[in-house]
Amino acid sequence: MLKNYIKIAWKVLLRRKFFTFISLFGISFTLMILMVVTSLFDHVFGPQTPERDTDRLLFVNSMKEQKEGGYTSSGPPSYYFLNKYVRTLKTPEQVSINSVFHQVNSYVNNRKLAIDIKFTDQAFWHVLDFKFIEGAPFGQQEVKSASRVAVINEHTRQQYFGDGPALGKEIVVDQVSYRVVGVVEDVPVLRLNSYADVWVPITLRSHEFNREGLRGGYFAILKAATPADVPKIKEEYAHMMKELERQKGEKDLQLYSFPATILENFARMVLGQGETSGLRILYAALTGITLLFILLPTINLVNINISRIMERSSEIGVRKAFGATSKTIIGQFIIENVFLTLLGGLLGFILAALVLWQINSSGLIVYADLSLNLRVFAIGLLLCLVFGFISGVYPAFKMSRLHAVEALKGGSK
Amino acid sequence: MIRHLFKLIWNRKKSNFLLITEIFFSFMVLFAVLSFVVHNVRNYTKPLGFTHDNVWLLSMRPSSDSAALNRQNLEQVLQRLKSYPEVANISLTSNNAPFSFSITSNAMTYGQVKDVQADYYEVQDDFQELMQVPLKVGRWFGPQDDASNHEPIVINQQLQEKLFGNEPAIGKLIPITDSSSYQVIGITEYFRGAGEFASDAPAMLTRINFAKRQDKFWESLLIKVKPGIGVAFEERMVKDISGITGDWNLEVSMLEKMRKAKAKVTLVPMLGLGFVCAFLILNVALGLFGVLWYNISRRNSEIGLRRALGAAASQVYWQFIGEVLVLATFGLLLGVFFAAQFPLLEVFQVDTEVYLIALFSAVFLIYLLTAACAFYPSRQAAAVQPAVALHEE
């Protein structure tokens, strides 16, 4: 039966080529845009090298102090706070403290390079999953003795040394010379917690370690032993913050800092207030925007489908006269429409791949490596099915209600 | 004739309902995107109020906690920079240097006018020459203001209009605290430090009295170099400065590069939105064309009858164009009703004029689009031969 339906659908598609073109154009472009956006979203918030185990990783990016009189200030936490209160937490398997990356200048062969440098501890390399092309990360010993060693990314290697290997060579960044111990693949700039061009031991900034403020210029990454530990970590962290607030003992002092996933951090930054992360509002807003976006192509497709199905009213009349129920007819048209959408979806995939390739090569996002992976593929497929279903249901329903006599005569008025 | 067309559409409102919703949503999308584009284009065409050729920005982040030491280093850095023959001018500035991503604003109150938010820039005396800020009236601040009891400020025209209306502003005092106040000494027509796509917001520039404020530290320094000075000098300069400052973090960027980075933040979403909008509209146009074609071809017998009773081909032609335009009017009426709420309720901080331009262009574009979609099917309808059409029946 299914095979027959698809055969019929194929013949119908070939009969009216212009209508087929309009439908396929609409479907494929809509799905392309959705897939590109999904891929961008995944690029920013999903698991990507080096932040692979996103279900076990939590990031501490900010500390907000609210003092008497409603005066608030917020920014990245200080090393002092992270080292004394966060590193001592019991539930996380590992805690890494690293500086916010910042840009410094280097001059190579009469060229200026703007390089982002990040100061990290040695746990950073265990918590995150960098892909090393050459060498290895710096270890406990080098961090302890504040050695001038550096891990650089592929792009920086290219800038300094051309295509050759860089291991063991010296590079000068911001007037300081470092020995290269490892080269990693480029990390996209939107991954604030792991991105940099050059990573060096955190102990090179030890003069900042003892500043006793709560705010400074550092991030922490917490890794849970299992995904199930994540809520426990959050709980312990919240408890620690309450304790800290009490210890400080200032009147009306309120401290806000949370270990959170990248998406939660983003939602809190944009929408969140106090304890709530605003994640739900963000999801609702995203769903709303997506629905609004597919609304227009859907109405368009429904319109075209109605015209197309109207043309086939005599066929419906014959089938009804021979005893087909409304259900069977609705089923047939939905299957036809889903078939059409899947065809459009396939085209959309090809288009999306082209667009992503274009974005990657244009350098619009530094070190972007957008791709259509399995996750994006699955979401795309789901979108196709939903889109095909929605745009097929109404016309099919409308047609199935025709009386056989009327339909045989050629449709309703 | 037109009443007749309205009646025709109204009678088939059920089957035309989807077409009307489609036109309504297309209009809303077009209106939203056009508002965004018109807003930005209008800002882009306004003057910035300064030039930035050969200007570099040096950002300094001290590593030491000792304010006195930092201050001492900063004074040495300024002196060293002034001694280079390659450097034309320098001026310290607050962190919101032109084209940077940070914003500082200040609430100003004058008489009955309360809490006007103005962008707040701290700059040195040489800033005017360095950035070539043209003054409309008054003068720029200089050493003669050292003795002044008030803080001299230069404001832009927007702030003047917001605070003083039509009154002349020069010499007016604006209170800061109970005991101190700003004095307006100059007015510039525009000052849009936030970049080309920033709206013309109220702005004020205050004087950095470097000698007097011994405790203060400024992290940003604008440097104007002579034409043709390149990266070789930059490298030498950074080496010299880090010789003075030790392990301060130094960063040099060119204002032209910062301008491009800042423009990208607006341009990329604008292009993305424009692309999506163009696709949606093209999609709708194609769909509309297909549906109209089909609908009109189904009315062959009706056309044949009209032709047989003496209607001219052009009459049939105009009837179908007219019907589609009436259809569009229904969608647009609904759309304009919703769109008009934006300027009426002042949803965003955007001029009413922007909304009006966007509204009228969107209406015009939708009419144009629907008429274009109806053009071919209507001509086909007009070409119907009555004998053939009636014979079919």
Domain's final residue, options B254, B280, B299: B254
- Contact call for A175 and B284, based on CB within 8 A: no
Q: Which residues of A touch B263 (CB under 8 A)?
A: none
Please identify among residues 60-119 of chain A the ones whose CB lies closer than 8 Å to any CB of chain B: 102-105, 107, 110-112, 114
- The tens digit of pLDDT for each residue in A295-324 reads 888 888 888 888 887 777 778 888 888 888
> If we measure between CA atoms, which residue out of B89, B70, B65, B94 comes closest to residue B244?
B70
- The tens digit of pLDDT for each residue in B196-211 reads 998 888 999 999 988 8
B181-188 and B151-156 as β-strands: parallel, antiparallel, unpaired? parallel
Given this model, what pLDDT does residue A375 score? 73
Average pLDDT, chain B: 88
- Contact call for A105 and B238, based on CB within 8 A: yes
Residue A413: pLDDT above 50? no
Look at B83-87, B191-195, B305-309 and tell me which has the smallest mean pLDDT: B305-309
CA distance A190 to chain B (A): 14
- As a whole number of angstroms, the distance between CA A167 and CA A157 comes to 10
Q: Which of A158-172, A354-368, B38-52 has the highest mean pLDDT?
A: B38-52
Structure tokens at A307: 């015209």
Judgement on whether residues A292 and A238 belong to the same structural domain of the protein:
no
Of B18, B25, B287, which is closest to A22 when you measure between CB atoms?
A: B287
Confidence of residue A70 (pLDDT cuts 50, 70, 90): low
Confidence of residue A69 (pLDDT cuts 50, 70, 90): low
- Helix (H) / strand (E) element for B88: namely strand B87-93
Judgement on whether residues B23 and B150 belong to the same structural domain of the protein:
no
In a domain, B300, yes or no: yes
Given this model, what pLDDT does residue A255 score? 87
| DSSP-based helix, strand, coil % in chain B, nearest 5 | 55, 15, 30
Q: How far is CA A145 from the centre of its chain?
A: 37
- As a whole number of angstroms, the distance between CA A118 and CA A199 comes to 5
- As a whole number of angstroms, the distance between CA B149 and CA B131 comes to 27
Judgement on whether residues B32 and B65 belong to the same structural domain of the protein:
no
Judgement on whether residues A244 and A297 belong to the same structural domain of the protein:
no
Select the more confidently predicted residue: A49 or B145. B145
- Helix (H) / strand (E) element for B92: namely strand B87-93
- Helix (H) / strand (E) element for B3: namely helix B2-11
Judgement on whether residues B14 and B117 belong to the same structural domain of the protein:
no
In a domain, A275, yes or no: no
Taking residues B66-92, report their average pLDDT: 91
Judgement on whether residues B92 and B66 belong to the same structural domain of the protein:
yes
- Helix (H) / strand (E) element for A335: namely helix A326-362
The DSSP output letter for B172 is -
- Contact call for B283 and A107, based on CB within 8 A: no
Q: Which residues of B touch A101 (CB under 8 A)?
A: none
Judgement on whether residues B356 and B386 belong to the same structural domain of the protein:
yes
- As a whole number of angstroms, the distance between CA A114 and CA B253 comes to 9
- The tens digit of pLDDT for each residue in B236-281 reads 998 899 888 887 888 888 899 889 888 888 888 898 889 889 988 9
Taking the complete model, does pTM exceed 0.95, yes or no? no
- As a whole number of angstroms, the distance between CA B241 and CA B223 comes to 13
The structure tokens 């707040």 sit at B120
Interface test with B, best of A37, A39, A104, A112 (most B CBs within 10 A): A112
- As a whole number of angstroms, the distance between CA A372 and CA B387 comes to 58
Confidence of residue A275 (pLDDT cuts 50, 70, 90): low
Judgement on whether residues A223 and A285 belong to the same structural domain of the protein:
no
> If we measure between CA atoms, which residue out of A103, A106, A159, A112 comes closest to residue B230?
A112
Q: Which residues of B touch A22 (CB under 8 A)?
A: 286-287, 289-290
Judgement on whether residues B66 and B131 belong to the same structural domain of the protein:
yes
Given this model, what pLDDT does residue B67 score? 82
Query: What domain range is B172 assigned to?
Result: 55-254
Sign of CA dihedral B382, B387, B392, B393: positive
Judgement on whether residues A288 and A169 belong to the same structural domain of the protein:
no
Given this model, what pLDDT does residue B310 score? 83
Given this model, what pLDDT does residue A394 score? 82
Residue A288: pLDDT above 70? yes
Of A30, A114, A175, which is closest to B239 when you measure between CB atoms?
A: A175
What length does chain A have? 413
Number of domains in chain B: 2
Query: What domain range is A205 assigned to?
Result: 57-260
Taking residues B283-300, report their average pLDDT: 86
> If we measure between CA atoms, which residue out of A115, A117, A128 comes closest to residue A220?
A128
Share of chain A above pLDDT 70, in %: 97
- Helix (H) / strand (E) element for A359: namely helix A326-362
Given this model, what pLDDT does residue B128 score? 92
| Residue B178 CB burial class (10 angstroms; 0-12, 13-18, ≥19) | exposed
Q: Does any CB of chain B come closer than 8 Å to the CB of residue A301?
A: yes
In a domain, A267, yes or no: no
Given a contact cutoff of 8 angstroms between Cβ atoms, the answer to whether B102 and B96 are in contact is: yes
> If we measure between CA atoms, which residue out of A263, A259, A279 comes closest to residue A271?
A279
Given a contact cutoff of 8 angstroms between Cβ atoms, the answer to whether B205 and B40 are in contact is: no
Contacts with B213 (C-beta within 8 Å, 6 or more apart), sequence order = none
- The tens digit of pLDDT for each residue in B93-106 reads 988 889 988 778 88
Domain's final residue, options B201, B223, B254: B254
Domain's final residue, options B215, B234, B254: B254
- The tens digit of pLDDT for each residue in A333-382 reads 888 888 888 888 889 889 988 988 888 887 777 777 777 777 777 877 78
Select the more confidently predicted residue: B330 or A75. B330
CA distance B318 to chain A (A): 23
Structure tokens at B99: 């084209």
Judgement on whether residues A69 and A185 belong to the same structural domain of the protein:
yes
- Contact call for A296 and B25, based on CB within 8 A: yes
Number of domains in chain A: 2
Judgement on whether residues B235 and B288 belong to the same structural domain of the protein:
no
Interface test with B, best of A34, A105, A206 (most B CBs within 10 A): A105
Judgement on whether residues B94 and B158 belong to the same structural domain of the protein:
yes
Contacts with B354 (C-beta within 8 Å, 6 or more apart), sequence order = B35, B38, B39, B42
The DSSP output letter for A82 is I
Judgement on whether residues B91 and B231 belong to the same structural domain of the protein:
yes
CA distance B262 to chain A (A): 13
Judgement on whether residues A75 and A202 belong to the same structural domain of the protein:
yes
Taking residues B171-186, report their average pLDDT: 88
Domain's final residue, options A207, A227, A260: A260
Look at A160-164, B128-132, B371-375 and tell me which has the smallest mean pLDDT: A160-164
Judgement on whether residues A129 and A197 belong to the same structural domain of the protein:
yes
Q: Does any CB of chain B come closer than 8 Å to the CB of residue A397?
A: no
Judgement on whether residues A145 and A211 belong to the same structural domain of the protein:
yes
In a domain, B234, yes or no: yes
What length does chain B have? 393
Q: Does any CB of chain B come closer than 8 Å to the CB of residue A408?
A: no
Look at A21-30, A121-130, A237-246, A392-401 and tell me which has the smallest mean pLDDT: A392-401
Share of chain B above pLDDT 70, in %: 99
Interface test with A, best of B258, B276, B299, B327 (most A CBs within 10 A): B276
**Chain A residue at shortest CA distance from B64:** A207
Structure tokens at B32: 């939203």
- As a whole number of angstroms, the distance between CA A396 and CA A386 comes to 15
- Contact call for B276 and A302, based on CB within 8 A: no
Sign of CA dihedral B365, B366, B371, B372: positive
In a domain, A272, yes or no: no
Residues from B in contact with A at Cβ < 8 Å: 18-19, 21-22, 25-26, 29, 61, 63-65, 231-232, 234-235, 238-239, 242, 249-253, 268, 276, 279-280, 283-284, 286-291, 294-295
Q: At what angle do helices A17-45 and A262-270 cross, to 10 degrees?
A: 90
ipTM given for this complex? 0.75
Q: Strand locations in chain B, DSSP E?
A: 55-61, 87-93, 105-110, 113-123, 137-138, 151-156, 173-175, 181-188, 203-207, 220-225, 249-254
Q: Which residues of B touch A103 (CB under 8 A)?
A: 251
> If we measure between CA atoms, which residue out of A304, A401, A310 comes closest to residue B298?
A310
Given a contact cutoff of 8 angstroms between Cβ atoms, the answer to whether B125 and B188 are in contact is: no
> If we measure between CA atoms, which residue out of B44, B70, B23 comes closest to residue B245?
B70
- Contact call for B19 and A112, based on CB within 8 A: no
Residue B393: pLDDT above 60? no
Q: Which residues of B touch A306 (CB under 8 A)?
A: 18
Judgement on whether residues B179 and B248 belong to the same structural domain of the protein:
yes
Judgement on whether residues B174 and B322 belong to the same structural domain of the protein:
no
Confidence of residue A274 (pLDDT cuts 50, 70, 90): low
- Contact call for A107 and B234, based on CB within 8 A: yes
Interface test with B, best of A159, A210, A303 (most B CBs within 10 A): A303
Neighbours of B195 (CB within 10 A): 21
Confidence of residue B392 (pLDDT cuts 50, 70, 90): low
In a domain, B50, yes or no: no
Q: What's the order of all strands across the beta sheet hosting A72-75?
A: A72-75, A63-66, A254-256
Q: Does any CB of chain B come closer than 8 Å to the CB of residue A25?
A: yes
- As a whole number of angstroms, the distance between CA A179 and CA A135 comes to 12
Given a contact cutoff of 8 angstroms between Cβ atoms, the answer to whether A132 and A262 are in contact is: no
